[in-house]
Amino acid sequence: MYNIYTRPEIETLLIIAEGTYDKYIKSKKSSLKPSLYCKEELSLGKHIKSKDFLEDYFCDVTKLICAITEYKRLRGQKEYCLADLLKPANN
C-alpha cells in the first residue's frame, strides 16, 4: 500500500506555471506562504483557491500537467505526489 500526498499546494503549482518558482524559493527567506506570494508578488488576485479561478487559469490542461510534472522534477523521487497519479503519455 502506498500513501499518495496531494502535494503541492495549488498555489505552488501556480508559482511553477508562472515560471517564478526559483524566485519564490530565493525569496522564501521572507517566509511568504505560497498563497501570499501568488497574491502579492504575482498579483493573481485573492480568489486563487476558488474553483472558477483555477478552472479559468488551467483551462489548458497541458499547463496544469506541466506544472505538476515540473513539481515532481524539482522535488525529486523522495515522495509520491500528483505526478505519480498521471498516466504516462506513451500508454
In tens digits, what is the pLDDT along the chain, a chain of 91 residues? Answer: 666 556 678 899 999 999 999 999 888 656 788 988 999 899 998 899 888 999 999 999 999 999 999 998 988 777 778 888 887 765 5
By the 8 A CB rule, do 8 and 62 touch?
A: no
- In the chain the first and final C-alpha atoms are separated, in Å, by 23
By the 8 A CB rule, do 14 and 39 touch?
A: no
Q: Does this model's pTM top 0.85? A: no
